[in-house]
């Protein structure tokens, strides 16, 4: 079986973001980067599947600037067999259609049986890469998986639905599975595995040779949210007293009750 897992490197979500000079995306200055959290679950699930079948092959792929090699090395240390880096310093400008097209360009040559991705990236949050990729390849697609098993050429996945409901679906391989938080417990790369990862292959491919699709959507503006005033909490158990306090606040601080 041939398995592919797709990952993205994103800024640490605890970072303080600010627009870049063009105002088109966030500035990368002073940001720390890490593997997208959803993708960590995808890597873990792919590695678990790889471990059940020693004859299988697991590749990890990432599209992005030179810094994404660090995320690829982590995936290799977690258990992936080899990595593929598609260098693209302008990847952040590309929409999901373009990124999925690049991945599909590689996947078509690899004859993969199953592809794992994170449900979405934490920075852009479109949740479109997996479904678009499946459509381009003609694969089955299961999204937001919180449970996964494989029997022969049939995948069974538990999905997270709206309102806390769960659904169980079966999909024939080849398939794309997008992974939700809680699907598993991503392993921490041990020092021996980190050392082994240094000897594993990281192939470099040209993005233009995989796809030259034009964008279907673009980011016009990126800006920090406007700072708002603090809220006021009125405490007390008596409704009449609270209503009186609210009227006083409205009179003093707003024009709602001024006539």
pLDDT confidence bin for 156, thresholds 50/70/90: very high
pLDDT at position 182: 93
Q: Indicate whether 42 and 74 sit together in one domain.
A: yes
Q: Indicate whether 21 and 95 sit together in one domain.
A: yes
Condensed to tens digits (0 to 9), the pLDDT of residues 178-204 reads 999 999 999 999 999 999 999 999 999
> Are the C-beta atoms of residues 173 and 140 closer than 8 Å to each other?
yes
| Nearest residue to 79 via CA among 187, 199, 201, 203 | 187
pLDDT at position 185: 97
Average pLDDT, the chain: 91
Domain count, the chain: 2
Domain assignment present for residue 224? The answer is no
Q: Which of 51-65, 76-90, 156-170, 224-238 has the lowest mean pLDDT?
A: 224-238
Condensed to tens digits (0 to 9), the pLDDT of residues 8-21 reads 999 988 888 888 88
Q: Indicate whether 30 and 128 sit together in one domain.
A: yes
Predicted TM-score (pTM) of the model is 0.84
Q: Indicate whether 167 and 256 sit together in one domain.
A: no
CA 174 to chain centre: 21
Domain assignment present for residue 221? The answer is no
Condensed to tens digits (0 to 9), the pLDDT of residues 164-182 reads 889 999 999 999 999 999 9
Domain assignment present for residue 250? The answer is yes
Give alpha helix (H) positions in the chain: 37-52, 69-78, 96-110, 129-137, 191-197, 207-210, 239-253
Q: Indicate whether 185 and 258 sit together in one domain.
A: no
Domain span at residue 56 reads 2-210
pLDDT at position 237: 73
Using CA atoms, how far apart are residues 104 and 121, in angstroms rounded to an integer? 18
Domain assignment present for residue 140? The answer is yes
Beta strand ranges found along the chain (DSSP E): 2-6, 9-11, 33-35, 57-64, 82-87, 114-118, 140-151, 154-160, 166-172, 175-179, 202-204
Q: Find the CATH number of the domain harbouring 166.
A: 3.40.50.620
| Nearest residue to 124 via CA among 25, 249, 245, 241 | 25
Domain assignment present for residue 189? The answer is yes
């Amino acid at each position: 079986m041939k398995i592919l897992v797709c990952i993205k490197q994103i800024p640490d979500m605890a970072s303080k973001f600010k627009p870049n000079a063009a105002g088109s995306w966030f500035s990368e200055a002073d940001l720390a980067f890490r593997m997208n959290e959803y993708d960590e679950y995808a890597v873990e699930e792919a590695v678990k599947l790889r471990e059940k079948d020693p004859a299988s092959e697991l590749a990890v792929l990432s599209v992005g600037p030179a810094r994404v090699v660090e995320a690829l090395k982590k995936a290799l240390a977690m258990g992936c067999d080899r990595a593929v880096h598609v260098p693209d310093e302008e990847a952040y400008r590309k929409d999901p259609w373009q990124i999925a097209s690049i991945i599909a360009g590689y996947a078509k040559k690899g004859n993969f049986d199953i592809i794992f991705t994170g449900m979405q990236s934490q920075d852009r949050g479109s949740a479109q890469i997996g479904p678009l990729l499946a459509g381009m390849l003609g694969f089955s697609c299961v999204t937001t998986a919180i449970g996964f098993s494989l029997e022969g050429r049939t995948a069974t996945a538990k999905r997270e639905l709206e309102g806390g409901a769960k659904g169980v679906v079966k999909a024939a391989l080849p398939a794309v599975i997008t992974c939700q938080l809680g699907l598993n417990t991503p392993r921490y790369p041990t020092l021996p595995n980190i050392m082994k990862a240094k000897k594993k292959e990281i192939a470099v491919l040209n993005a233009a040779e995989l796809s030259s699709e034009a964008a279907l959507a673009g980011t016009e503006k990126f800006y920090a949210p406007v700072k708002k005033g603090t809220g006021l909490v009125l405490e007390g158990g008596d409704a009449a007293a609270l209503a009186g306090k609210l009227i006083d606040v409205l009179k003093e601080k707003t024009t709602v009750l001024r006539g």
